[in-house]
Amino acid sequence: MATNFRQEFIRFAIDTKVLLFGEFKTKAGRLSPYFFNAGLFCDGKSLRQLAQFYAKAIAAADVPFDMLFGPAYKGIPLVAAVAIALADANHNVPFSYNRKEAKDHGEGGNVVGAPLVGRALIVDDVISAGTSVRESVELIRASRATPAGVLIALDRMERGSAELSATQEVVRLYGMPVISIATLDDLIGFLENSRGMAPQLAAVAAYREQYGVKNA
């Protein structure tokens, strides 16, 4: 099935302890029953597997793009790894990333790698406040390229200060798609089909009911 990789990704994230269950305080002050930290994909094997999942999500979404862009800092290793995974799947595309501060010597500027041209797909881990996406969109547009969408690992499908999630805000503000390897609903589906995970399922489902977006 085309969607199997999403469930496989959830299992992968749990096995690598990138996805944990318990009680975790979010930036918004909420007590979340799960915690996802993509920064813990921090060895060669797990990063390679993560990039392969990103590549599968791209293929499933079928969003046209010409190149990849990784926002500093977390997006830098991600965009390089995803470009390699796509090349392994016979889809060789250029990529670039930005510096936090412009360089005034050598090649100069604040963009490293391929020139920002055409349709650039932004690669990141998650969308929280949306700051990274906004900065990326501004940089891409300043180069007269077009932001093609945002590729993330997990969509928490969680309301912000209003009724929309951070992901939905990006879609509304910039008119571009957000592609995720998996969503909170995929996590719930995984827990529903996993033996011995009833307590985690109940906690995550209750959190979804309280803070989840209504029409995700």
Residue 46: domain span: 4-211
Question: pLDDT digits over 30-66, tens only?
Answer: 999 999 999 999 999 999 999 999 999 999 999 999 9
8 A C-beta contact, residue 185 and residue 216? yes
Rounded to whole angstroms, the Cα distance separating 90 from 25 reads 42
Per residue in 187-208, pLDDT (tens digit) is 999 999 999 999 999 999 999 9
Q: What's residue 1's pLDDT?
A: 39
Q: Is residue 93 part of a domain?
A: yes
The conformation of residue 125, written as its DSSP 8-state character, comes to S
Which of 27, 100, 105, 214 is the catalytic position? 105
CA atoms within 13 Å, Cβ hemisphere of 31:
4
Instruction: Residue 106: give its domain's CATH number.
Output: 3.40.50.2020
Residue 216 falls within a domain, yes or no? no
pLDDT score recorded for residue 132: 86
Largest CA distance in the chain: 58
Kindly list the distances between the CA atom of residue 177 and the CA atoms of 81, 144, 180, in Å, as whole numbers in the listed order.
21, 19, 10
Quick one: which of 12, 13, 99, 113 has its CA closest to 67? 113
Question: Is residue 186 in a domain?
Answer: yes
Cβ pair 56, 181 in contact under 8 A: yes
What is the rounded CA–CA span in Å between residue 34 and residue 99? 31
Catalytic residue status for 103: yes
Active site residue 91: no
52, β-bridge pairs: none
Asked if the structure places residue 136 within a domain, the reply is: yes
* Low pLDDT (below 50) residues in the chain: 1-2, 105-106
Ramachandran area for residue 207 (φ above 0: left; ψ -120 to 50: alpha; else beta): alpha
Q: What does the CA dihedral 88, 94, 97, 102 come to, rounded to 10 degrees?
A: 150
Q: What pLDDT does residue 215 have?
A: 59
Distance CA 91, CA 143 (A): 24
Q: How many domains does the structure of the chain reveal?
A: 1
Does residue 196 lie within any of the structural domains? yes
